[in-house]
Amino acid sequence: MANILDKVSSLFNIKNKDVQHTPFSSSLTHLNLGCGYDKRDGYINVDLNSVHSPDIVADVSDLHMLNDCTYEYILANDILEHLNRHKIENTLKEWNRVLTVSGHLEIQVPSIVDAVALLQSKGKGNVEFHYTLLQNLFGSQYYPGDFHHYSFTKEILSDLMKETGFKIESIDLVDDWLFTVHATKVEHRYPDELYGVKNNADFLDAVYIKYLQRSIDGAGLASMSDLLQQGIPREAIVNMVRTSPEYKRIQIENVGYEELLELKSDNEFLNAIYLRVLNRPLDEHGSSHYGLRLQNGTHREVIVSELKNSEEYKQAHL
């Protein structure tokens, strides 16, 4: 198991070495993400569909061609609702990555509460109004990507912005059912490097090791790979794993170790976990073996799990 853990942990150190990205070069500092046909002068216009002839054809969730902390303003109107809900937080972190500190984010998204209120107040006896508003809520659905997967409330927007390093300056209601949000980047919050692992099989193995403290089994690899091939985003896979009974059991087992997992240095952690789990001081072999693995990226939770499943621990608790 140790060799597998070390192998997968090393992916985080080499994940992008085999991928050569050409940075996009422009003096412009304003981005118009998901521009569609609403291309704007003075902006770098980005869209998934080449038919719109944007400056950059790209998924707005992956702006690898744009450098960190470079842009001053992001406009993203009517975009986040098009994403699988599991991708929204990571997408906001990706936008955070390319913005300068104090950079500005402007988004427009639907308000589910206000849309329902609008149906109730103005939709009585007017079925065409119902059709129109529901099309606005769920997308025209004319072509791939023209579907809405999510809607928003003020509470969700406030939480998302806080978690992704933004401070909301204002939230205004437009046309009685749309939020326009203005926010400022106040902290760096980049996407988890886990999502940068290139190969799906390696990604899945890394997810299992990080959250379930074991390598992925054949059945899990087959089913999860199939979901990814069908277009389910990686973020949804992570959510499945983190809401699984196995993950919850591991979390319960690790109760009481939180303060040790947060110790500043690896050496402090190893000394403390040996005393707590094995009831003895850290020896030279443990220091060398586990110290090297921690340096190579093995998660501390994995070390805890291994020690608690070791023969030494089992013998002491017979």
Amino acid at 15: K
Q: Express as a percent the part of the chain with pLDDT over 90.
A: 73
Dist. CA 260–CA 262, nearest whole Å: 5
Mean pLDDT of 310-318: 83
For residue 52, what are the CA distances in angstroms to 56, 270, 287? 10, 55, 58
Residue 144 pLDDT > 90 = no
How does residue 107 score in pLDDT terms, banded at 50, 70 and 90?
very high
Which two tokens mark 176?
A: 């009685």
At 256 the pLDDT is 79
Q: What is the pLDDT of residue 21?
A: 54
> What pLDDT is attached to residue 58?
96
| pLDDT given for residue 25 in this prediction | 82
Q: DSSP string covering 160-180, please? A: HHHHTTEEEEEEEEETTTEEE
pLDDT at 300: 87
Confidence class for position 318, pLDDT limits 50, 70, 90: low
* Alpha-carbon gap, residue 14 to 9, rounded angstroms: 10
Contact 49, 69 (CB under 8 A): no
Determine phi and psi for 218, rounding to 5 degrees. -60, -40
User: Of the candidates 243, 300, 217, which has an alpha carbon nearest to the alpha carbon of residue 86?
Assistant: 243
Q: Does residue 167 or residue 249 have the better pLDDT?
A: 167
Q: How confident is residue 304, by pLDDT bands cut at 50, 70 and 90?
A: confident
- Domains assigned to the chain: 1-19+198-253 (no CATH), 20-185 (3.40.50.150), 256-318 (no CATH)
Residue 258 CB partners (closer than 8 Å, separation 6+)? none
Place of tokens 């118009």: 32
Assign 3-class secondary structure to 96-143: HHHEEEEEEEEEEEEEHHHHHHHHHHHCCCCHHHHHHHHHHHHCCCCC
Closest by CA position to 157, among listed 114, 99, 203: 114
- Phi, psi of 49, rounded to the nearest 5 degrees: -100, 120
- Asked if residue 102 has pLDDT above 60, the reply is yes
Q: Is the dihedral of CA 268, 163, 211, 12 positive or negative?
A: negative
Q: What stretches of the chain show up as alpha helix (H) in DSSP? A: 2-9, 11-14, 88-98, 112-122, 127-138, 154-163, 200-212, 218-229, 234-242, 245-253, 258-261, 266-273, 284-295, 300-308, 311-316
Distance from C-alpha of 2 to C-alpha of 302, rounded to nearest angstrom: 10
Mean pLDDT of 148-173: 97
Token pair 């003020």 in the structure block, residue: 154
What percent of the chain is predicted at pLDDT more than 70?
Answer: 93
